[in-house]
Amino acid sequence: MQRIGIIGGMSWESTQLYYRLINERVRAVKGGLSSAPLLIHSVDFAPVAALQAAGDWDGLTRLMVQAGLDLKAAGARSLAIATNTMHKMADEVAARTGLPLIHIADATAACVRAAGLTRVALLATRFTMEQAFYRDRLTAAGLSVLVPDAGERAEIHRVIYEELCRGMVRDDSRATYARIIAGLKDRGAQAVILGCTEITMLVRPQDIEMPLFDTTAIHAAAIADQAIRDDLQ
């Protein structure tokens, strides 16, 4: 299997989930003691979050491109970004490194379409919900995307950065997310996309009354499948 480079640490709470999920899938398919050959570049999330809050996306692009180049130099033959928000610069990372990139939104959209659904609610960081880079990718795949209202977006964002990225999982926040999702269902959503890799720590299938698409699990499966395909070539 060719080595896949993962840009992680944003936050490490979800990156550790990626590592487990990828290797569980590879072992389930290949059997025995099999695991995936991975290179993980885990960045310091504190300066990343500060640059996000400041809106310095050029600085973040430089950081992500360098991480991709470091992984390429270490032997990676394809890349994955283990966070939804930082896919804002995914195209630039792929172009500058010259490596194929396993895109989280593409993998998620394919799963939604395979389920026969087209109208989805998106819960994510404020950046991912409000900026076009992610929603446009889903729309291009044939999906209609609903997002919560401004106050709900602010609360979803707060829980991600102040709780989930710090390893805190609170029942009251789970109830808040469930209430927001129920409102989106009333607006016509057929399913919900957990468009932040930490939300899987909080929202479970039993907490909501419509299909749930967990981008962490979906992306990890896509990365594992790429490693398995590489092994067969």
70-86 pLDDT tens trace: 999 999 999 999 999 99
Q: How many CA atoms lie within 13 A of 66 on its CB side?
A: 8
| Residue 65, pLDDT score | 98
Is residue 189 over pLDDT 70?
yes
Asked whether the beta carbons of 93 and 116 are under 8 A apart, the reply is: no
Average pLDDT over residues 43-56: 97
Q: Find the angle CA(205)-CA(114)-CA(112) to the nearest 5 degrees.
A: 50
Instruction: Kindly name the residue from 111, 128, 165, 196 that is annotated as catalytic.
Output: 196
Find, among 127, 121, 157, 120, the residue nearest to 142 by Cα. 120
Where residue 229 falls among pLDDT bands split at 50, 70, 90? confident
Average pLDDT over residues 160-180: 98
pTM to 2 decimals? 0.95
Is residue 232 over pLDDT 80?
no
DSSP 97-142: HT--B--HHHHHHHHHHHTT--EEEEE--HHHHHSHHHHHHHHHTT
Instruction: Kindly name the residue from 83, 85, 125, 197 that is annotated as catalytic.
Output: 83
| Residue 38, pLDDT score | 96
Distance CA(179)–CA(41), nearest Å, equals: 36
The percentage of residues in the chain with a pLDDT greater than 70, rounded to a whole number, is 98
Is residue 107 over pLDDT 60?
yes
Q: Find the angle CA(203)-CA(79)-CA(17) to the nearest 5 degrees.
A: 30
134-161 pLDDT tens trace: 999 999 999 999 999 999 999 999 999 9
Where residue 231 falls among pLDDT bands split at 50, 70, 90? low
Partners of 192 in the β-ladder: 121, 212
| Residue 68, pLDDT score | 98
What average pLDDT is seen over the chain? Answer: 96
The percentage of residues in the chain with a pLDDT greater than 90, rounded to a whole number, is 96
Find, among 165, 125, 161, the residue nearest to 12 by Cα. 165
Is residue 203 over pLDDT 80?
yes
111 is catalytic: no
DSSP assigned state of 78: E
196 is catalytic: yes
